[in-house]
Structure 1
Amino acid sequence: MSPNDASPEPAAPVPPADPPGASPAAAPASARPAPGVPRALWIAAVAVLLLGASGAYLGWSAQQRVGLLEQELVRRQQATETAVTEARVLANEARDAARDAAARVALLDARVSEAALQRSQVEQLLQSLARSRDDKVVADVDSALRLAMRHATLLGSPEPVVVALRQADERLAQIDSARVQRVRTALARDLQRLGAVRTPDIATLAARVDEVLRQVDELPLVALVEPRRAPAATPPRAEPAAPAAAAASAPDAPASAAGWLERVPAVTRDVALRVWAEAKSVLRITRIEDPAAMLLTPEQAYFVRETLKLRLLSARLALLARQFDLAQTDLHAAAAMIERKFDPQSRRVQVARDTLRQAEQQAREVELPRPDETLAALAALLR
């Protein structure tokens, strides 16, 4: 019988595997290998069991660690998202704050510029206030004097300059400084020179022209004047014993008639004297420079008076405007018209003519002197 045909030996029963984690020492005594099993097999089985238990433990432990890592990652991811959101909010706030800061900086720059401008103005004001009181007074005097010169030029009278110089002298007298003595000396010389100037009084001249203008309608014209009747002479009744004395005492008797009057009777002499007196009252001999003045009609006389009024009004306006050449021309023409057209023997005509002649002589332009010495002294003091 061959060895292959021999029946196999009954196999030994395999002990049950130990549960994972069970130590070999904890194995029951019944689990110990049977006496017929090889020792190496038992050792391999135990090693496999130990390895399986270790692998299971390691897998479980790794799984726990992975779960913990996943939780930590999730937590950190949530924290990161929260931080990112907060960072975005902070970035927006920072951007808004930067904009506000830029606007505030621009506003501050504008205010700084304004403050710098105000500071410069204040410095200028302080510098102007820091000037001495004397300089201010001198500057005010110079300005007032120049303004008075303009007024004097407009008015044609040195009175504004004289008033300004007197006021300047009063103000400079209050300054106890040797610097202003030169100015006061020049001021006194200018006052003396201006005081010697005689300018026409425009108001007085205009008043005279107005007075003549009001009397134009009352002045008698040569053509319309009535003959002056002499009082009727009552010849004295001469006695026959003294015919020569009566003839000599008779007014206006011609010298040639004295001889023959002595030889005529008294009645005839009285009649002759009466006829002579009546003839003298009727006849009038007047010397007239302009014969056309005797030919004026009453209607033409109205226009003569109106023409004279226009001349006087033109002269008055020229005086008020200080156009002395035109005023002299109008006054001369008005005086000549009064002398030609009106009765020269009338007292009113004579007074009007003389008034216009005097106004014509006084209406002359006078060159006003300038206070150059005072201005030069003030300019030297203000340097």
Structure 2
Amino acid sequence: MTGQAFPPKPTHPATSDPLQEGSTAPTTPAGKFLASLSIQQILLAVILAVFLWQWFDAHLQLNDMQKDLARRLADMDGNNKANQVLTKQIQESMRELSVKVSVLETHSAEAQSQRAALESFYQDLTESRDETVLAEVEQMLMIAGQQLQLSANVKAALIALQQADDRLKRMDRAAFNELRRAISHDIDKLRTLPDVDVQDINFRLDNLIEKIDSLPLIQDIAHASLEKEITIVPPAGEENTWKKLIREMWGDIKRFVRIENMYKNELPLLPPAQSFFLRENLKLRLLSARLALLSHDEAIYKHDLQTAKKWVEQYFDITSTAGKLFVFNLQSLWESSIDIELPDVSASLEAVRNYRSSLGKVSR
């Protein structure tokens, strides 16, 4: 182990190993060197070679590890720089997002305040709209009641009630169902009434009043026929002087002398002033019948028409076309019945007023 060579043992020729005798001595320097080494030296050399080889291999692995570590460090450095850039971008994005979030929060607060204002405004608008609709419905119901009370116009009152019901129907509110029931009940009352066309009768009376001034009087027809009778048409040819004188004298005699049946019941001739008042009184009779029609007073209505018909038959020419048509219209109007019992439609009006008062109490 110390590296010191032991002296070779002396060999005796007589006792030499036949193998050694048969082997040949190494002749090369390496062989001589190997032959001169002992087993311990060879073992030591092998161990040294293994150690050198392990050291070299470890050195190579260490170099590889250093290179890999350097590469990884370089990659990590690049990644760190990229992460720093990304981090800066993220920070900038976060700052922008924070600004946007603050702006959105501001807008959200404004939107909430506006929403609250809109809800308050919508509530006020809804209440105001309900109040407006109820006011319109109340006005329509008042018109219906006035049409029935003042002019007994059932058709106009029915139209007003239907318009009020349609106005509530368009609102589509469950709170208005009771009001609609009351209005529908009043509508059913009016629909059960007999159909009396007051407007048509009123229009026909107006036409008769306008035609009074053009009605011919009996005395006008009689005077015209008398003048026609006493008028002598001269002959077409030449007339002798004596014949002309005799014709004129005969015409004068017929004018002075008139033969009539004194037992015949005829009216005296009316002066123009009395003819004017006769026509005006006839108009007043028809106007009175018109007022009785609007108030549905059938007794006065028929009495005025009967009186007007009597006057027409007594003083006017009923044989003419205008006279016949006038008397026919008077008779037709007299046969029309206007006697209807008007119902009370104030229930729906009271219901609307009560509902409006309840809304006013709730709002206060």
> Per the shorter chain, which TM-score range?
0.3 to 0.5
> So what's the TM-score if we normalise by structure 1?
0.40
Larger radius of gyration: 1
Please identify which structure carries the higher helix content. 2
Alignment TM-score, normalising by the size of structure 2: 0.42
